[in-house]
Amino acid sequence: MKKILALLLAVPVWGIAQQTDPLLSGNEYLQQKWVDSIYGQMTLKEKVGQLFMIDVFPEQGEKKIKRAEELIREYHVGGVIFFRGNPHQQAVLTNKYQAASKVPLLVGMDAEWGLAMRLDSTFAYPWNMTLGAVKNEKLIEQAGYQIGRHARRLGVHINFAPDIDINTNPENPIIGNRSFGEDKHNVAEKGAAFARGMRNAGILACGKHFPGHGDTETDSHKTLPTITFSKSRINNVELYPYNRLISENLESVMVAHLNVPALENREHYPSSISKNIITGLLKEELGFNGLIFTDALNMKGASDFTSPGDIDLAAFMAGNDMLVMSLDVPRASQKLIEAYNEGQITEERLEYSVKKILKAKFKVGLAKYSPIDTTDLYRDLNTKRDNLLEEEIYANAITVARNQDSLVPFTRLEDKDIAYVHFGDAGGEEFLKALNHYARVDEVQADKLDVLLKQLQPYNTVIIGHHRSNESPWKPHDFTVGELTWIYEIAREKKVVLTTFVKPYNLLKLSTLNNIESIVVGYQNNPVAQRKAAEVIFGAIGAKGVLPVTANKELLVNTGITTEALGRLQYGIPESVGMNSATLKKIDSITEEAIKTLAMPGAQVLVARRGKVVYNKSFGRHTYTGNRPVSNGDIYDVASLTKILATLPMIMKMNDDERITIDSRLGDILPELKGTNKENISVRDVLLHYGRIKPWIPFYRYTLDKDTDKPLEKYYRKRPQGKFTVKVTDHLYMREDYRDSIFKAVKESDLLSKKGYRYSDLGYFMLQKFIEDSYGSSLDSLDENYFYASLGADRTMFNPLDRGIEKENIVPSEADDYFRYQIIQGYVHDMAAAMKGGVSGHAGLFSNADDIAKIMQMYLQKGYYGGKHYFKEGTIDKFNTCYYCDRDVRRGLGFDKPRPESIGDELYNRVPKGCFCHSGFTGTYTWADPENELVYVFLSNRTYPTASNRKLITKGTRTEILKVIYDAIADK
């Protein structure tokens, strides 16, 4: 009675009941009929052969590949397990081996995080440690399902996964990243979800390494590790996930190569051949009825077995069904046959295991075996669904483990000067690149600590990235002693975000967390993990992950600080937002064709949907004859996009601050216009281009010599002197007072004779003056202070050369042969804006596609971005209203609106009327669609070398791309 009570206390309730047969298929009658038929035709040698699963390494040469085929033909082995190689090699060998086998082979792999664990050039899912940080179990199940789909496509039937070891020893050289963590509940839940996913894909799951491989500091491939826990502890912790998975009909279990004194009293006796552990504990106590596999029988440490085949016999007698990676199949087969003939192995025992194996083969479809079709194999193993799921998993795994003063996510970017310091022996390029999507983040490098600290002086915030190899889960992960010292010293002087892209055990080496404000764990040095960590730091996504293991005495298991998303743009794949990658790729050919036909030298194209940038490419070169390719960081003269990116936001702010209304009259807001023909024009009509204001005035022509068309000395000098201080371009300085003449000419200009829509730059000259007079500051400073700095739009500015941007990073806009007589690069293309010193309300802004997308996304989000509300509720809608549509004025206030003449009738009839957009003379364009949550940015320098080149316009390149974007929306 006492023994029964002790057993009840030691084993969870669900483990007592006998497991239903996990190997039954959907048609039990046909399954049993097939199993009995195959078994009935087998010789003793064929039956014994079914017990073996041999290893195959496709890269080990023809001799070993041929030897595997000989074992299949002569000894009728039941299965093969593949290691390394590539998918095509494996598929070809699988077909070859299956053709050689009388009974179809059960094909296995160690694909714990997908086929890439053992195959080159194949998609890899995150490691189990990373999955252990994810709270959303549906994602784990989906990962199991996708891995299962890949396995089936490659002719694999059993995946030796999930690893459900409880990872309680940070020094474990074998488990580590392969475990879901140290919390038994977490491991059980994740393991069960992973197994369900594979089961749903038609793949057999295998829980390993029974009874628990988590607490060892030795390598079981090299010796026999000892687990010193008591039986009570093992029952309560290590066996917890097995009980859970067995209750959900786990199909198979792999027994570990361990010495477990609490369960096996023979000294140094491997668990993989222990009847007490396999039959007594796994089968009888836990009630497991599925397939039981040995771990590799060629591992060291089984010192009691010196004769080939003895360990195989012992493993079978202990209760295993399949013998994995025997040292000598012929000798082991002979040993088992001799034991059968001598009565040591009964027919009942042999039949029990062989029929289980056959039953498993029927369940995975081997009764109707067909060879693997190698057509499109790589495509099928690397799908967009895999990329999407990878993105979702990392987004859910990134963990904020510490966050003093809520430093993460970053807010008030205008107050932050950020540096990045790289640690580790692997690359962090994707991390740095992703950080720079959100703000200027400079990499600071030095060989000595004192030099580094000196170089960090201009910065108040430092992001440290710890990057080590992601090639395998067993690569080194710790900080070096020197790196630890540097972390402490940097943290003493600066606010620090320590971001690690290795398993979190590296944080155990930190003797103190004092002064380290934030710790972000990225788990793997994977490009997606790097991008998602950057997104968490800047609040593009919220942090959701938890530590799956104890990472430090102050960072306990299940620690995870949830942070909120701040509405900043994310970056990902089109399928994540309901768009089709293949369709969007047509943008490439449209843009490349435009370059090929000399419509423009190069371009940047960006597409975002639902707050995520899903297409962001640069094409061509800065000039047709140059060799500098366009990069995403290069900036363009955006021409009239200045109106909606610089002037309009200030007008909306002034509207919110009640400094102006859309019905304010120009004469009321600008005293200079009292008594002129402009005084009664409303701000509304200026923004709608409905105020009868002339389109433009060729100011520059009045400053040229009539005979030579060269700048008159009366107005210009080649260098600054006296009142000639307005820099128009290199070696051309205009008189200061001529700017007053420009405004005077605007003020005194005649109005058009008839009321109607007429696009005009001149209205923005007047709006700029009002803005600057109201604030006592220039438009460029106001935009920087109120918008660009806090948006993280550090590539958006007027007069970029004065802001420290290198000329080589600025795309030239024209080879001017009519006014300035030089290549215009870094100076505004628009002549009037140039004569105003490069800052004007209608033109002068430089930017790149990334930054413009931020501003347009802020507009889409009704003025919210980065945790900040830039405008009051309703302001964006007020300005994005077509007030005079009934008068055939299809514009909003400042914004252009969809018009048949600009985008074509077919597209006009497809797009929502709430869209807003604008184009620029230099070949720029941006579009936003609130209903479909779209942002599109197109930047080019179609005006180079000459503005007379109108091919971009006549070809309709920008709107052709817009059509593709709408075609790519897959969920409409």
- pLDDT of the residue at 123: 73
17 pLDDT more than 60: no
First to last CA, the chain: 67
301 pLDDT more than 60: no
Q: What's the alpha-carbon Rg for the chain, to the nearest Å?
A: 35
- Residue-wise pLDDT for 561-591, tens only, equals 999 999 999 999 999 999 999 999 999 999 9
Residue pair 636/922 in contact by the 8 Å Cβ criterion: yes
Alpha-helical runs (H) found in 101-227: 128-132, 137-153, 184-200
What is the pLDDT confidence band of residue 305, given thresholds at 50, 70 and 90? low
- Residue-wise pLDDT for 342-364, tens only, equals 999 999 999 999 999 999 999 99
Residue pair 150/448 in contact by the 8 Å Cβ criterion: no
- What does each C-alpha distance from 484 to 424, 432, 490, 507 come to in angstroms? 11, 21, 10, 10
Q: Which of 694, 697, 686 is nearest to 647 (CA)?
A: 686
What is the pLDDT confidence band of residue 604, given thresholds at 50, 70 and 90? very high
- pLDDT of the residue at 172: 85
Q: What does the alpha-carbon distance between residue 276 and residue 265 come to, in Å, rounded to a whole number?
A: 9
392 DSSP 8-state letter: H
- pLDDT of the residue at 168: 87
- pLDDT of the residue at 7: 36
What is the pLDDT confidence band of residue 308, given thresholds at 50, 70 and 90? confident
Q: Which of 173-177, 189-193, 553-557 has the lowest mean pLDDT?
A: 173-177
Mean pLDDT of 165-182: 91
CB neighbours of residue 665 within 10 Å: 17
- pLDDT of the residue at 11: 39
Q: What does the alpha-carbon distance between residue 138 and residue 595 come to, in Å, rounded to a whole number?
A: 45
Q: Which residues contact 746 (CB under 8 A, 6 or more apart)?
A: 697, 762, 765, 766
- pLDDT of the residue at 735: 97
Mean pLDDT of 328-336: 96
300 pLDDT more than 90: no
- pLDDT of the residue at 566: 98
Q: Which residues contact 597 (CB under 8 A, 6 or more apart)?
A: 951, 955
What is the pLDDT confidence band of residue 299, given thresholds at 50, 70 and 90? confident
Which is higher by pLDDT, 171 or 105?
105
Q: Using the Cα atoms of residue 832, residue 836, residue 837 and residue 839 in order, give the sign of their dihedral.
A: negative
- What does each C-alpha distance from 529 to 35, 177, 458, 465, 535 come to in angstroms? 47, 15, 29, 12, 10
Q: Which residues contact 148 (CB under 8 A, 6 or more apart)?
A: 159, 197, 198, 199, 200, 201, 202, 203
Mean pLDDT of 33-44: 98
What is the pLDDT confidence band of residue 543, given thresholds at 50, 70 and 90? very high
Residues 231/233/237/243 CA torsion (nearest 10 deg) = 30
Report the percent of the chain where pLDDT is more than 70: 97
- Residue-wise pLDDT for 377-431, tens only, equals 999 999 999 999 999 999 999 999 999 999 999 999 999 999 999 999 999 999 9
Please give the structure tokens belonging to residue 604: 């940047």
Residue pair 337/48 in contact by the 8 Å Cβ criterion: yes
CB neighbours of residue 220 within 10 Å: 24
Residue type, 805: I
- pLDDT of the residue at 120: 64
- pLDDT of the residue at 59: 84
Residue pair 860/912 in contact by the 8 Å Cβ criterion: no
**Residues acting as catalytic residues:** 221, 295
Please give the structure tokens belonging to residue 367: 């009764």
The angle that helices 762-775 and 738-748 make with each other, rounded to 10 degrees, is 120
118 pLDDT more than 70: no
- pLDDT of the residue at 390: 96
For residue 463, which phi and psi values (nearest 5 degrees)? -100, 120
- pLDDT of the residue at 1: 35
- pLDDT of the residue at 303: 46
Mean pLDDT of 928-946: 98
- pLDDT of the residue at 476: 86
Mean pLDDT of 796-806: 97
pTM: 0.95
Q: What does the alpha-carbon distance between residue 566 and residue 586 come to, in Å, rounded to a whole number?
A: 32
Residue pair 164/191 in contact by the 8 Å Cβ criterion: yes
- pLDDT of the residue at 16: 44
- What does each C-alpha distance from 493 to 459, 460, 496 come to in angstroms? 10, 8, 9
Mean pLDDT of the chain: 95
Strand partners, 845: 798
846 pLDDT more than 60: yes
Mean pLDDT of 101-111: 97
Can you give the length of the chain in residues? Answer: 972
Mean pLDDT of 678-706: 97
Which is higher by pLDDT, 309 or 184?
184
CB neighbours of residue 706 within 10 Å: 7
Mean pLDDT of 523-529: 96
CA 405 to chain centre: 27
Helices vs strands, H then E, count in the chain = 37, 30
Q: What does the alpha-carbon distance between residue 638 and residue 938 come to, in Å, rounded to a whole number?
A: 10
Residue pair 830/821 in contact by the 8 Å Cβ criterion: no
- pLDDT of the residue at 394: 98
- pLDDT of the residue at 866: 98
Residue pair 840/832 in contact by the 8 Å Cβ criterion: yes
What is the pLDDT confidence band of residue 121, given thresholds at 50, 70 and 90? low
Residue type, 849: A
